[in-house]
Amino acid sequence: MKERLEALKQEALQELSDVQSQQELNDLRIKYLGKKGPLTEVLRGMGALSAEERPIIGQVANDVRAAIETVIEEKQAAYQQQETENRLRAEMIDVTLPGRPSQQGAVHPLSKVIQEIEDIFIGMGYTVAEGPEVEQDYYNFEALNLPKDHPARDMQDSFYITDEILMRTQTSPVQVRTMEKRKGEVPIKIICPGKVYRRDDDDATHSHMFTQIEGLVIDRNVRMSDLKGTLLQFVQEMYGKKTRIRLRPSFFPFTEPSVEVDVSCAMCGGVGCRTCKQTGWLEILGAGMVHPRVLEMGGYDPKEYTGFAFGMGVERIAMLKYGIEDIRHFYTNDLRFLKQFLHL
């Protein structure tokens, strides 16, 4: 049995010396040291030996196992070392190489226009007011002279959460909330920027969600001429000193009288072109004197106080300013579109 063990040792060491991969090494470990290996079979046969032979053969068997395990461990360590070196080479970073420049972002064109509009009106003494996008029907409609059966509600069909809660269709509720908060104090000079929601079909000029900025002024002796002068100052700062405005009669339930406001076309200077449909004018916002009923519901005596209000879609202002033909460009996150505003 001693000779068999020595032969087994030589055989194993010979095979281990020819190993070419870690998988082969693992297979040989199982072959010689596993439960079904030849060394285990030899040890199982030790029961047939005499009491004097057992310790001798046992020592030889342990020496054979130790010799095989030593070679296996050395080769295993060598393979692991080689694997580590290979990984380090593959993952090595050359710190002397120039760095990869990170892409620089820019303010979204809508955010940029909102900031410009806010700066213009803050320069005229206005403050910025904000309110919830999920609004009560009372503030969105009723307090703005739009009772539940008013047909003008159809023009602002929104997304209702309950019969009394909806996604606001305009930022006008912020005006009502401000009037309530001020409790009859004057003057009020605010602009109200924010997202609004209407059940419109999305196309080149409409979106179910868009951005709006409204303004409100309440004080004694506020006149339509004050409104016109304010809007003229705004458009000339936004589009240039040569820009003109035109007021056309219109209807809004919360203002009386009401007007649509046009600006002279920046593309043709008012001569007439494709952009303005040969009229020389482009509509940008609606405005008017605050309806006495709205003043009264907001806590102001319409016999003592007057005011004006206006509202504009930021997308409309941006489209005219930058010559953008489709409102959907603002919301599709197309980098080809957004990169145009990196340095504006």
33: left (phi over 0), alpha (psi -120 to 50) or beta: alpha
Mapping DSSP to helix (H, G, I), strand (E, B) and coil, where does residue 34 land? coil
Tokens 């060598």 map to which residue?
Answer: 78
Query: What number of other Cβ atoms are within 10 A of residue 200's Cβ?
Result: 14
Rg of the chain over all Cα atoms, to the nearest angstrom: 41
Read off the amino acid at residue 236: Q
Q: Kindly tell me the burial class for residue 159, based on how many C-beta atoms sit within 10 Å of its own C-beta (0-12, 13-18, 19 or more).
A: middle
The answer to whether 133 is annotated as binding is no
Binding-site annotation: residue ranges: 256
Binding-site annotation: residue ranges for Mg(2+): 256
